[in-house]
Amino acid sequence: MRVYLCDADELARPWSEMLSVLKDIKGVQIEYPQPVRWSEGEYQYAPDNGEGKTRIAGKSLVILHATPEIDELRKDEDEWKVRAKWLQDRDIWTLIISGAPISKGVQISDLIYRRAAKVTKDAAKPDKVFMVCLRRFVEKLVTTEKADWRVVEPDPYPPNLVALYLLLVAENRASLRELPEHFRTKLTESAMREYEEWFSDLDDAFPSHSGSEGQRKFLKKLFIRVAGGEG
């Protein structure tokens, strides 16, 4: 599968540098079609290798920036919508990355997702959480040939795990015999799944995630409560 890394981020760093995490994925061929050109009534991605224009086609993923650092495209902030539609019409998966601090991304269609990625002034500190999510998303896309956008932007927190924690806090203070058994069973099962998802490879996935210290503290308190202590 081809992955086309177009544009650059808001500090004009090309995605080819920012998204180097994709380089080692088996079955992925990365293309850097710079620059984007509007020609003959459509966008074409012309590489600078002198071999002529390469058109994006077939099973491929295109990663665009919402506001690319390309003069001819900066005239209109909504330009990405035009480009996304062009790709949508050709059944091409498209991930649009925005530097704006939107709290949650938007799934525009089955084929298109728009999410924020933190842009820092220090090029050595890319958005590591995003990088991990992106790598997982592309790996899954290659294997299943289905775009699971939840992987590129998972839920902001594990609601069942947090609910289980609150339940245990409450149980420590009051008798809760009235709690429906089916609710407890379902909650515990869902919380276990979330635990696997969030914590099984925490060190690998989120080595510098700002919340990881708080998450570890939460996990420790949760374990103490599960073990019957006060936490």
Partner 1 sequence: MNALTPWNIECTGSQCGDSLRHSWLRNQVLNKSDDDILFLRQSGPWRALDLEFPLRVQETLRLSCVIADAFSPTQLFEREPLVCLPVECRDMLLTAVQEAYLEGFLAGEVRDNLRTAASKLSKSLSAMSSVWHDLSDPPGTKLLAAWRCVKCDAETLLAELEKLPRGVVLP
Provide the binding-site residues for partner 1, judged by CB under 8 A. 103, 156-160, 162-163, 165-167, 169-174, 176, 178-180, 183, 186-187, 190, 211, 214-215, 217-218, 221
CB of 135 to partner 1, least distance (A): 21
Residue 51 or 230 with smaller CB distance to partner 1: 230
Q: Following DSSP, what letter does each residue of 131-171 receive, concatenated?
A: HHHHHHHHHHHHHHSS--HHHHS--SS-HHHHHHHHHHHHH
Q: How far apart are CA 144 and CA 35, in angstroms?
A: 30
CB of 214 to partner 1, least distance (A): 4
CB of 211 to partner 1, least distance (A): 5
Tell me if 88 sits within 8 A of 110, measured CB to CB: no
Q: How far apart are CA 113 and CA 107, in angstroms?
A: 4
Residue 63 or 164 with smaller CB distance to partner 1: 164
Output the furthest CA–CA distance in the chain (Å, rounded): 75
Tell me if 81 sits within 8 A of 88, measured CB to CB: no
CB of 166 to partner 1, least distance (A): 5
Residue 16 or 160 with smaller CB distance to partner 1: 160
Residue 83 or 115 with smaller CB distance to partner 1: 115
